[in-house]
Structure 1
Amino acid sequence: MTLKDLVALAVEGRVVGLELLSLEGGIYLLRAQLDGQTRTLLDESGRTLRVRSATHLRELLREVPRLPCMLVQQVVHDEMCGQREEPITPLRLPIFLDEPW
């Protein structure tokens, strides 16, 4: 799914929400939730679209209707130690794309 596809699906109301996945090294990937599945956004050449920051995400999605968006990040302590007995889930924080901060 490209950014153009995301805009079209969002205008149709088919996108339920977005996830900005934070990876090691300052890399962010955008995933769209629709039709019971999650799709990672691709650039025009078919490679995974890399987002530089939340500000960059706001710029990319300025044409998209308001959607819930979550920043998803693994908890560093859990990754380093890995000694929890219960399942390890990522940290999920809401991001408001129509507000600068």
Structure 2
Amino acid sequence: MNVQKLAKLAEKGEIRGLELLSMEGGFYIARVKLDHVEMTLLDDNGKTLHLRSSTHLRDLLQDVPPFPCVLVQQCAHDEMCGTREGAVGALRIPFSLGATL
């Protein structure tokens, strides 16, 4: 899904949420949730859109109606050190597409 398609779906109220996934290497990718499917946000060439930050995403979607967003970061320290027993879940932080103060 590209930004234009996301904007059209957001205007219709069909976007259920967006996960901004923090990736190794210092970039982010966006996963858009619809009712029964999740799709990666793509660039104009049909490749996965690499974002620099949540601010980059806000700038990109500044004219799009708001919908729920979550920043998802894995806990690399726990994975490397093995300090917890059992599964290690991702850190999930809700954020808004609106301007920050």
> Does the pair score TM above 0.5?
yes
What is residue 27 of structure 2 aligned with on the other side?
Answer: 27
What is residue 72 of structure 2 aligned with on the other side?
Answer: 72
Unpaired segments ≥5 residues, structure 1: none
Is 1:10 matched up with 2:10?
yes
Unpaired segments ≥5 residues, structure 2: none
Deviation at 1:83, TM superposition (A): 5.5
Letter in 2 for 1:41: L
Deviation at 1:53, TM superposition (A): 1.2
Deviations 1:48-93 (A, max 9, x none): 0011111111111112111111000101222213464322211000
Deviation at 1:96, TM superposition (A): 1.6
Letter in 2 for 1:88: V
TM-score norm. by structure 1 comes to 0.90
CA-atom RMSD in angstroms: 1.4
| Identical aligned residues as a percent | 52
Query: Is the strand fraction higher in 1 or 2?
Result: 1
TM-score norm. by structure 2 comes to 0.90
Structure 1 stretches of 4+ moved >3 Å: 82-85
CA distance in 2, matches of 1:83, 1:39: 33
Superposition map of 1:26-45 within 5 A: 26-45=26-45
What is residue 85 of structure 1 aligned with on the other side?
Answer: 85
CA distance in 2, matches of 1:82, 1:9: 42
Deviations 1:18-71 (A, max 9, x none): 111001111100110102221111111011001111111111111211111100
